[in-house]
């Protein structure tokens, strides 16, 4: 890939991550700018320190925003914003595994 093609691939993931961050800040009413959250930031425990009630809110929000249903048993999707991006937009994960 040329550097411009790499930038375009990166921009697609960054845009999905940005949508997720805006959704999290808005739905959970967090007092921070979405851009303060990093793509690699964990969402539970350390990191954003979300709790189980926040998870329920995010399940609803993700389905509304991205049309993707997540389930209780799949907590690893909340490992980071970027990990979540790969789940709501499978094309990103495909790009990662085929890179």
Q: Using CB under 8 A as the criterion, which residues of the chain lie in contact with other proteins when the complex forms?
A: 1-3, 6-7, 9-11, 13-14, 31-32, 35-42, 45-48, 73, 75-76, 79-80, 82-83, 85-86, 92-93, 95-96, 99
Q: Token pair for residue 63?
A: 């389905």
CB of 61 to other proteins, least distance (A): 20
CB of 70 to other proteins, least distance (A): 14
CB of 14 to other proteins, least distance (A): 6
Q: How far apart are CA 22 and CA 42, in angstroms?
A: 16
Q: How far apart are CA 13 and CA 72, in angstroms?
A: 24
Check if the beta carbon of residue 41 is closer than 8 Å to that of residue 81.
yes
């Amino acid at each position: 890939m040329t550097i411009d093609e790499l930038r375009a691939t990166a921009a697609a993931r960054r845009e999905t991550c940005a949508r997720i961050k805006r959704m999290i800040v808005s739905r959970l009413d967090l007092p921070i700018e979405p851009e303060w959250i990093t793509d690699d930031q964990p969402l539970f425990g350390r990191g954003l320190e979300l709790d189980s009630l926040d998870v329920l809110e995010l399940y609803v929000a993700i389905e509304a925003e991205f049309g993707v249903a997540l389930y209780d048993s799949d907590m690893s999707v909340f490992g980071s914003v970027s990990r979540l991006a790969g789940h709501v937009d499978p094309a990103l994960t495909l790009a990662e595994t085929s890179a």
